[in-house]
Structure 1
Amino acid sequence: MSTFTAFYTAWSDQLQQLLRQLCSAPKPPTTQDHLHHLNHLVNKVLSHYAEYYRVKAAAAERDVLDIFAAPWASAFEKSLHWIAGWRPTTVFHLVYTESSILFESHIVDILRGVRTGDLGDLSPTQFRRVSELQCETVKEENAITDELSEWQHSVSDLMGATTDVDKMIERLVTVVRKADDLRLRTLKRVVDLLTPQQAVEFLIAAVELQQGIREWGMNQDRECSY
């Protein structure tokens, strides 16, 4: 087991503990203490993700090909990967999906003018800012994808006698770093657009999706190994 694989296992277990804390948080916050508690939980989760990308960056410097191979991930997880991780624009699909589900469940209250304060109660300004951020993220995603494509096309040069393999590996490390930076930055910027209650609900959905995909994929891998 690689060092990063061991780290990821422990990190994923800690993420599950944070999920339980998010799910037990008071919603909606009825006091200033509740509000402070929600903000504290949101910051803890974001810090946990930041720690993941910090350690991953160091691991990529040591062996970027191992990061792409992702031995800690199930085959299903790997099939969903974009440059050694989740696609940043997935965040926006999650926001829109959760908002739609909650809006439909509260539609009677909303029509009566009752504000729920959850993800189903996003304001027009919030929707506009999420949409603008999505467009920016798509452009950055495409630029990084193009950079990886250029790197892949240059792999044929490996057959040349003058090829500097170390420089090619450094370029790949840079591409992964840019992709991970966009992932973390997108997560933080979406959270910044939300209220504390909405941010908690969004992070619950994000972690549950991540953990659900991981659990299903690992179960499939175990069944295929029998």
Structure 2
Amino acid sequence: MKCFTSCYEDWVRKQEWDLTYLLAAASTSAAASAEQTAADAELRVVVEKSLRLYEEYAEQRCALAPADGPAFFCPAWCSAFENSVLWMGGCRPTLFIRLLYSLSGAALDARLHDFLNNGGDDGTDRLSAELLRGEKSMLGLSARQLGLVDELHGHTLREEGRLTAKMATVQEDVADRPLLSAARVHRKITSSSAAAAAAYAASSSSWGNDGDVAAAIKSCAEEMAGLLVEADRLRVATARALLTEILGPKQAVELLVAAKQLHLSIHKSSKQRDTDLCCGGGGGNVDGAVF
């Protein structure tokens, strides 16, 4: 468990460092607008470095998962709030897309606010023209980009559904043999007389059922480890497609900054919440945050 926690804590530190790096890159790019081509090339390098950190973390989890797959589905290194919103040991892959929609909506609201305040003067007429033509909307996204985002969203939702269904099967298997039969055996032992229970527990059949339970739990744990790896691959693939194939360099950096700020904010606030609950007698865990 210690190596799992260390892996996560190292990831959080890298997130904090990467956020500072991204903010500096975005600031430099804004100042170098006259040389936009060169600035975009630099931002692409920054985005790629950020994605590599994400991929390396997923690779580390993949290496650790076989040792204890279930540990990632309700991690001891996460806060109670974070555990409540986890999907397959991390965030939903579609979270990146939902965050993009939220940022885009906020940007459009700001532009409309300027339009209303300025009475349609200056550049606000261009906003109306852009929206009517469908050439641009929301955070500078083109109509083509919006179409690609929508396609990616649909594909990712289908993949999330497929993995959710597989996880449901694993969970339902807990009520199947041999776990059910083993549970019945355990009840017979505990409800019988002490002498009979001792005799039954000493029999080879009793030990065989214990072995069946261990084997069944091991099988479920292995399936969960496999699902975690699949989910992490989907998370990484979705982020890479969105950031490198659909968004422009500046848009990608802006989305990465927002994602990391959200992650670290939830990490800090939920950790403090657990500390407050613990001090107040409510219990809680103070170790972690969302992947």
- TM-score exceeds 0.5: yes
Q: Which residue identity is paired with 1:112?
A: R
Alignment partners' CA distance in 1, 2:11 and 2:107: 30
Alignment of 1:66-215 (within 5 A): 66-107=71-112, 108=115, 109=123, 111-112=125-126, 120-156=139-175, 157=177, 158-160=179-181, 161=209, 164-165=215-216, 166-191=218-243, 192-215=245-268
Aligned residue in 1 for 2:284: none
Q: Which residue identity is paired with 2:171?
A: Q
Q: Secondary structure at the match of 1:69?
A: coil
Provide Cα deviations, 1:120-139, integer angstroms capped at 9, x if missing partner: 11000101110111111111
2:56 to 43, 51, 57: 51
Alignment partners' CA distance in 2, 1:211 and 1:118: 29
1:4 Cα deviation from its structure 2 partner: 1.8
- Structure 2 residue 56 is matched with structure 1 residue 37: no
Alignment partners' CA distance in 2, 1:204 and 1:190: 14
Cα pair distance change 1:35/1:174, threshold 3 Å: same
How many residues align structurally? 225
Cα pair distance change 1:55/1:118, threshold 3 Å: farther
Provide Cα deviations, 1:120-159, integer angstroms capped at 9, x if missing partner: 1100010111011111111110110000000001012324
Cα pair distance change 1:100/1:82, threshold 3 Å: same
Q: Unaligned regions of 5+ residues in structure 2, if any?
A: 116-122, 131-135, 182-208, 280-291
Contact kept? 1:87, 1:183, Cα under 8 Å: yes
Alignment partners' CA distance in 1, 2:54 and 2:259: 12
2:70 to 60, 65, 72: 65
Provide Cα deviations, 1:203-226, integer angstroms capped at 9, x if missing partner: 011111111111111010110111
- Structure 2 residue 228 is matched with structure 1 residue 223: no
Q: Which residue identity is paired with 2:94?
A: T
Alignment partners' CA distance in 2, 1:122 and 1:150: 40
Contact kept? 1:68, 1:84, Cα under 8 Å: yes
Alignment partners' CA distance in 1, 2:105 and 2:29: 19
Q: Which residue identity is paired with 2:271?
A: M
Contact kept? 1:119, 1:201, Cα under 8 Å: no
Q: Secondary structure at the match of 2:50?
A: helix
Alignment partners' CA distance in 2, 1:118 and 1:124: 7
- Structure 1 range deviating more: 167-176 or 155-164: 155-164
RMSD, matched Cα: 2.2
Which has the higher Rg, Structure 1 or Structure 2?
A: 2
Alignment partners' CA distance in 2, 1:177 and 1:98: 29
Q: Secondary structure at the match of 1:120?
A: coil
Contact kept? 2:70, 2:225, Cα under 8 Å: no
Q: Secondary structure at the match of 1:208?
A: helix
Q: Which residue identity is paired with 1:178?
A: E
Alignment partners' CA distance in 1, 2:49 and 2:137: 20
What is the TM-score normalised by the length of structure 1?
Answer: 0.91
Alignment partners' CA distance in 2, 1:207 and 1:111: 34
What is the TM-score normalised by the length of structure 2?
Answer: 0.72
Q: Secondary structure at the match of 1:24?
A: helix
Aligned-residue sequence identity (percent) comes to 29
Q: Unaligned regions of 5+ residues in structure 1, if any?
A: none
